[in-house]
Amino acid sequence: MKDFSSRRSVLLLFCVFSLSVWTPAASEFRICSYNVQNFNLDKASNYRVLHTLTRIVSRCDICLLQHVVDPDGKAIGALLAALNRYNGHRYKSVTSTSLGNSPDDMEQYVFIFRPQQVKVTGEHQYKGKLSFDRPPFVIRFQSTKTAINEFILVPLHSNPKKAVQEIDQLYNVFEEVSRKWNNSNVMFLGDFHAGCAYVTRKDRKSIRLYKNSNFSWLIGDRADTTVTDSTTCPYDRIVVHGEPFLKAIVPFSSQVFKFGEDFKLEKRKVLEVSDHYPLEVTLKSSAPLLQATPLLILLTVIVRFFMPTL
């Protein structure tokens, strides 16, 4: 009887161990957005800033950077080189032209992504310049790793004085790109200045992305996306259109990544990178746990065969 009990314990331990080793966890696919506050070659030449930014972006399969001032591409080139040395993943980028209303206020949108996880299938520069200081540079992505196969990312770094108008005009961008690519799986992300004095509760009545219930705001109004103690504002946002895209997102995965806490950095070092925190959201895997099915069947057969004799 003692020998039977030992055999049963060993079998059960084997089953638990096998499941823990062989059952694949749902792979994460993380989309990030970060206002890097005047990211230029001088900033990229600061080793400490570049290392911290590398650690942040390396968490992401796609990372949108805003407020990039890098017309010759050297700053982003330095960041890509650092990323490709960091953890074995390969990274590429796609960058807009310099956008703005004056030579002293030109910025770029930059998407950095892992080509082994996702590929770019389309680019579109929105032309409604009267509506935006920095019109969205829209990218269509395709990935076999995610529950939603193809989706569109629309960035915005708004002029704070025109935040209400620019956020509302994102609806026009949505109509244009969803019609162009016959795809309504659209995510808006960036520094919208969508809070505090720039966008009030009253202002939302004139913003179609608020009024239309098909749009879901994943970063709430109580979030604080700013680093300094003098502001507590949800300026940076992630918004998705439609139930299919919303269902493809891991519940409660959208968050403000306060990397100072994770990286054990003093606030002054966090501020060296930006006065904003990055945002992130995780998409569900395309087929979690399906590969484990044959193993589960095998273990079931083994247990049913041996248990009656133990």
Tens-digit pLDDT profile for residues 108-127: 999 999 999 999 999 999 99
The SS3 call for residue 205 is helix
Which one-letter amino acid corresponds to residue 54?
Answer: T
Give the pLDDT score at 307.
41
The answer to whether residue 59 scores a pLDDT higher than 50 is yes
Higher pLDDT, 17 or 197: 197
Tens-digit pLDDT profile for residues 150-178: 999 999 999 999 999 999 999 999 999 99
What average pLDDT does range 227-240 have in this prediction?
96
The pTM assigned to this predicted structure is 0.85
The answer to whether residue 11 scores a pLDDT higher than 50 is no
Report the catalytic residues. Answer: 107, 157
The answer to whether residue 208 scores a pLDDT higher than 70 is yes
- Residue 305's pLDDT band, with cuts at 50, 70 and 90, is very low
Using an 8 Å Cβ cutoff, are 133 and 158 in contact?
yes
State the span(s) of the chain assigned CATH 3.60.10.10.
29-287
Give the pLDDT score at 252.
95
Using an 8 Å Cβ cutoff, are 192 and 237 in contact?
yes
Give the pLDDT score at 288.
54
As a CATH number, domain 29-287 is 3.60.10.10
What average pLDDT does range 65-78 have in this prediction?
98
DSSP-derived secondary structure letter, 97: P
The answer to whether residue 10 scores a pLDDT higher than 50 is no
The answer to whether residue 261 scores a pLDDT higher than 80 is yes
Q: Which of 301, 190, 167, 173 lies closest to 236, judged by CA?
A: 190
Tell me the torsion sign for CA atoms 62, 64, 65, 71: positive
What average pLDDT does range 242-266 have in this prediction?
97
Strand-pairing partners, residue 163, are: none
The CA distance from 123 to 127, in Å, is: 13
Give the pLDDT score at 301.
39
